[in-house]
Structure 1
Amino acid sequence: MGHMRVAFLLMAAFFVLAPAVVYPVFLMKVMCFALFACAFNLLIGFGGLLSFGHAMFLGTAGYASAHAAKVWGLTPELALLFATACACLLAWVTGLLAIRRQGIYFAMITLALSQMVFFFYLQAPFTGGEDGIQAVPRGRLFGVFDLTNVTAMYVFVLVVFLGGFLLIWRIVHSPFGQVLKAIRENEPRAVSLGYDTDRYKLLAYVLSGTVAGLAGGTKSLVFQLASLTDVHWSMSGEVVLMTLLGGLGTLFGPVVGAAIIITMQNYLAQLGAWVTVVQGVIFVVCVLAFRRGVVGEIAHFIRKPL
């Protein structure tokens, strides 16, 4: 576990020192998506459940956070709490339906549910349709810290990201996490040992959806915007790409994968629609050359889990 702590300290140090040389809003976007990818990885990397609908949690929390802050006038921490609770509730309801199936059927059900949520937000009056909820006030954290200050906002996002990451770390290394890995490896054997696998999978799905919601709620406060982009099916595909690129079933992989994808989108923006083509080429190269993902290959090389 010593090398894991070193890796965590290096990651934390990078995000603490990086604003000196990199645009802070860009780094905040990286952290939001890194947390989203970590949440997704908890489900697929450790539970073996491939969800094609994770964007619904990111988008739902984004709308909930933006609506609570702008219309109800809640403080940022309460808006974020409300957003996370909404994502948790949605994950529980959709999870009850989805985990009855396995493999590709599970993936298709999550995609169908996500599309239903997308069309609901497209039509719902409070979401602003295709315009989204704009000019979301960042407010004052605990009534003291003014989040319109970029430094204060950055510290807030960093604390949320590191807190979410440590929560996932704790889940993965808990007895619950070990049972989850056992279900991923061999579900019939886990059943024969007396574990209620459906209950474990549902809990993993709810936890994953809740942390994804935490990322979505934070993102809408950072950009002061909640839009349909975050609920669209392409966002669910993007998080799969981030996780596979970084390393499936590794703790730090999704963070690296998210950083690579967001950096590409940011610096290749002038290519327009060609960005997705370039992403596709890089993804193909990664799948052929780094079968375990970037962090997965590093972990294999040093023979220690990351």
Structure 2
Amino acid sequence: MQSYLDFEKPVAELQGKVQELKALAESGEAGDIDEEVTRLEERAAEQLKDIYKRLTPWQKTQVARHPSRPRLSDYVSGLITEFTPLAGDRKFSEDAAIQAGFGRFKGQSVAVLGHEKGSTTETRLKHNFGMAHPEGYRKAIRIMEMADRFGIPVISFVDTAGAWPGIGAEERGQAEAIARSTDASLMLKVPNLAIVIGEGGSGGAIAIATTNRVLMLQHSIYTVASPEAAASILWRDAAKAQDAANAMGVTADHLMEFGIIDGIIEEPVGGAHRHPAKIIEATGKSISTFLSDFEGMPGEDVREHRREKFLNMGQALA
């Protein structure tokens, strides 16, 4: 059953009428309803198109968090063959919020890592809603260093509200793990690509997104802090999250303008959650372009490209 967001209410009402008419037709209580159903479906499609043309930053935040939005596991299943997951940081334990391993993308060996939020209550709890502990980032470092050793490109999928802020995580060196993961990502001599598929929150996202190229899905968000956290800090009121989202420039369009990201992957009308196969296919095309652009580039040049990208960030606005 389709889950509708608050601002999609007009579409939900039209789709509800369509379902009522179809139910009446099946029970024999209605005559020929094909014309009316077609008319209502066309109106619903137009409404949806109109709504998604003018989404506010807060509405995009809601879309980015939609429970049916494709997760890391969906992209891996749809794009990566022979995927072999690797677990553990070799220091403390396995962290399920970050998944990582090796596989093939269109026959080419790639390392894949990213945040997994889960898609059911059980899996969300298992993966801690995509909020990683220090051992998750240390696992990411291990995979990146292994990829670098064997000359294998790294593809990162970002989808987290932020790193886990619990006492245990802080005791085990959360900030240090994030910093070392960021450093490991920056120092690679193999090309690396990050794609923000949902939320890109704070250092928890940056730790695996300091890459040669950063892409965002059209209705994803990328921000220094979640709108709720920013509102709590600025106004001491998490209820002002909508104001924070509007003020911070969290959307792909804003971040492209600021030079923070390098490209936007357009989503189907109604968001990635309505057409998962289409957005996974579009993401695959972007990965192909990236691998082609960096094919054969010497390791030192790859590292220098990444270095210059981040050093030049914000120069156009200075």
Which TM-score band applies after superposition, normalised by the shorter structure? under 0.3
More strand by share: 2
For normalisation by structure 2, the TM-score amounts to 0.25
- Point out the structure with the larger helix share: 1
Larger Cα-atom Rg? 2
Q: Larger relative CO (CA 8 A, sep 6+): 1 or 2? A: 1
Calculate the TM-score normalised by the size of structure 1: 0.25
